Amino acid sequence: MSEAQISDYRKLEESITLGHIQNEDRLSSELLTLNIGPHHPATHGVLRLIVTLEGEIVRDIKPVIGYVHTGIEKTAEQKAYWKVIPVVERMDYLSYYFNAQAFCGAVETLAGIEVPKRAQYLRVIHLELNRIMSHLVWLGTSALDLGAMSMFWYCFRERDAILDLFEMSSGQRMHTRYFQVGGVFEDIPTGFEQRLRKFIATMPERADQYADLLEKNEIVLQRLRGICPLDEQTLLDLGVTGPLLRAAGNPWDLRKVEPYSSYEDFDFKIPVGTVGDNYDRYRVRHAEIYESVKIIEQALDGLPEGPTITEDRKFALPPRHELATSMEALIHHFKLVTEGFRVPEGECYYPIESPRGELGCFIRSDGSSKPARVHMRDPSFSNLQATAPMCRDSYIADLIATLAMLDPVLGGIDR
């Protein structure tokens, strides 16, 4: 870059938007630019924040991202559709089932595949378990940031129980590749239901224990109550969805307004906050754990019999026993494994409600066996833009607490 280009670039990089300064006359000597990250104990993942401080008060924040950019969307263009699923799962690495659901849902819409009812219910069970797991990790690490260290161990104890369930159904703890285009990979094994019922029997009581640990604690309340509120209209302008928007009072949840994958069959409530400060964000996510437990229980009780993946052999592998008897099954199997299925041309955007907000998958298909463009609209990417309006004119400690309550996952932001 030439000298002129570098200086233009520097001007853009260093431009700050200050809200309000206390000591106007001593401005040039008062403002301190502090670099937080990308390696820092409190930023969730490799997030770099360039913070402009006046004393201890934050006047502007510029997040710098891209430190875990993996080029997943470009890699996905080189792989057949079902090979894209494990690649795309690794984007928002705490909600891997949601990434897979968004992608599979988009492909199913484009290809016109119908997902059987049993597969939809199994998907809902795993999605809600993943939501609980993501909220548990958020709770454990946020409490760690606030200083309440023992929460980390309790939350991860529950998280290990959930990962045991995932291991039972799919063989892997994380990034399980369980959702396939057209349904799920295979049926749940025997013993899964008992174990899951035992888990959901104990989970609400454990969540009560977490509330008891944190909510009556004076330090936690002072660090969260009334800190960094942001009103609903600013959040909507910024494109923020999920628990942040619900904490500000807007009950927008895609599971209720645009139900997908049989969510309309279940009866659950949407926790909504009033003020939109950190305490409301914490309460909304904590209450969502109870609602997810309710959904899982209803899904287990109502689990219908039937196939777990679509019967359309052009998209789903035939069961192994058919390969010995049916010629078409053999040909379908061969075609699917070598080339993969072809999806008719078109574009599709499929939004779902992930633990952080609206996760949408945009796919453009050009009729071949590989997607021509896969783009994930990640909720954290838009939510991160809310850090600056939220944290202006608050202390650094509040910035750390707000970042914890924002729940950004850098894998989704950087993709």
Partner 1 sequence: MAVSREPLAGADEFRSSQLRARDMLRGDLEGDDLEKYVEERIITTTLDKAVSWARGNALFPATFGLACCAMEMMSIVAGRVDVARFGFEAFRASPRQADLLILSGRVSIKMAPVVRRIYDQMLEPKWAIAMGACCSSQGVFNNYAIVPADKFMPVDVHVPGCPPRPEALMHGILQLRDMIQGDPTMGWRNRYGAVGTEEVLPGNLGADSVNVFGSTDRA
Partner 2 sequence: MPDATGLELIAGELRDLVDGAVINTTFDRGRAEIEVAPEASRPALGFLKQSGFSFLASLHGLDYYPDEPRLGVIWELLDMSGPDRISLKTRVSVEQPSVATCVDLWAGANNPEREVYDMFGVVFEGHPDLRRILMPEDYEGHPQRRDFPVGGEEIIFTYNEEQMPGWTK
Q: Which does 353 bind (CB under 5 to 8 A by kind): partner 1, partner 2, none?
A: none
**Shortest Å distance, C-beta 381 to partner 1:** 16
Our CB check for partner 1 shows the closer of 96 and 315 to be 96
User: Which residues are 349's β-sheet partners?
Assistant: 362
Establish if 332 lies at the interface with partner 2 (CB under 8 A). Answer: no
Establish if 73 lies at the interface with partner 2 (CB under 8 A). Answer: yes
CA distance from start to end of the chain: 26
Our CB check for partner 1 shows the closer of 149 and 337 to be 149
Our CB check for partner 2 shows the closer of 147 and 346 to be 346
Q: Which are the contacts of 340, defined by CB distance < 8 A and separation ≥ 6?
A: 80, 81, 82, 83, 369, 370
Record the tokens describing residue 53, joined without a space: 């401080």
Q: Which are the contacts of 130, defined by CB distance < 8 A and separation ≥ 6?
A: 95, 96, 97, 98, 162, 355
Establish if 260 lies at the interface with partner 2 (CB under 8 A). Answer: no
Q: Which does 77 bind (CB under 5 to 8 A by kind): partner 2, partner 1, none?
A: partner 2
Record the tokens describing residue 229, joined without a space: 């509120």
Our CB check for partner 1 shows the closer of 43 and 241 to be 43
Q: Which are the contacts of 11, defined by CB distance < 8 A and separation ≥ 6?
A: none
357: left (phi over 0), alpha (psi -120 to 50) or beta: left
Q: Which does 367 bind (CB under 5 to 8 A by kind): partner 1, partner 2, none?
A: partner 2
- 4-43: which residues touch partner 2 (CB under 8 A)? 9, 12-13, 15
Q: What residues make contact with partner 1 under the rule CB under 8 A?
A: 1, 3, 6-7, 10, 38-41, 45-46, 66-72, 74-75, 86-87, 90, 93-94, 137, 141, 152-153, 156-157, 159-160, 173-175, 410-411, 414
Dist. CA 157–CA 206, nearest whole Å:
10
**Shortest Å distance, C-beta 275 to partner 1:** 31
Our CB check for partner 2 shows the closer of 298 and 387 to be 387
Record the tokens describing residue 284, joined without a space: 């909304």
Backbone angles phi, psi at 232, to 5 degrees: -65, -40
Draw the binding track, 378-407, toward partner 2 (x: CB under 8 A; -: no contact).
---xx-xx----------------------
Dist. CA 323–CA 335, nearest whole Å:
13
Q: Which stretch binds partner 2 (CB under 8 A): 36-44, 105-113, 190-198, 266-274?
A: 105-113
Q: Which does 240 bind (CB under 5 to 8 A by kind): partner 2, partner 1, none?
A: partner 2
Is 59 in contact with 53 (CB distance < 8 Å)? Answer: yes
**Shortest Å distance, C-beta 409 to partner 1:** 9
- 138-167: which residues touch partner 2 (CB under 8 A)? none
What's 31's DSSP letter?
E
Strands (E) located in 155-297: 179-180, 183-184
* DSSP for 57-82, written as a single string: EEEEEEEE--TT---HHHHHTTS-HH
Other residues' Cβ atoms within 10 Å of the Cβ of residue 250: 18
Q: Which residue type, as a one-letter code, is found at position 61?
A: I
Nearest Cα to 387, choosing from 397, 396, 399, 377?
Answer: 399
Radius of gyration over every alpha carbon of the chain, rounded to an integer in angstroms = 23
Q: Which does 41 bind (CB under 5 to 8 A by kind): partner 1, partner 2, none?
A: partner 1
Our CB check for partner 1 shows the closer of 57 and 139 to be 139
**Shortest Å distance, C-beta 133 to partner 1:** 10
Q: Which stretch binds partner 2 (CB under 8 A): 208-216, 263-271, 284-292, 370-378?
A: 370-378
Tell which one of 161, 240, 309, 405 touches partner 2 (CB under 8 A): 240
**Shortest Å distance, C-beta 392 to partner 2:** 14
Quick one: angle between helices 96-111 and 81-89, nearest 10?
150
Backbone angles phi, psi at 364, to 5 degrees: -115, 125
Our CB check for partner 2 shows the closer of 152 and 349 to be 349
Q: Which does 327 bind (CB under 5 to 8 A by kind): partner 2, partner 1, none?
A: none
188: left (phi over 0), alpha (psi -120 to 50) or beta: beta
Contact positions vs partner 2 (CB under 8 A): 1, 9, 12-13, 15, 65-66, 69, 71, 73-75, 77-78, 109-110, 112, 234, 236-240, 252, 257-258, 338-340, 346-349, 351, 358, 360, 362, 364, 366-370, 372-373, 375, 377, 381-382, 384-385, 414-415
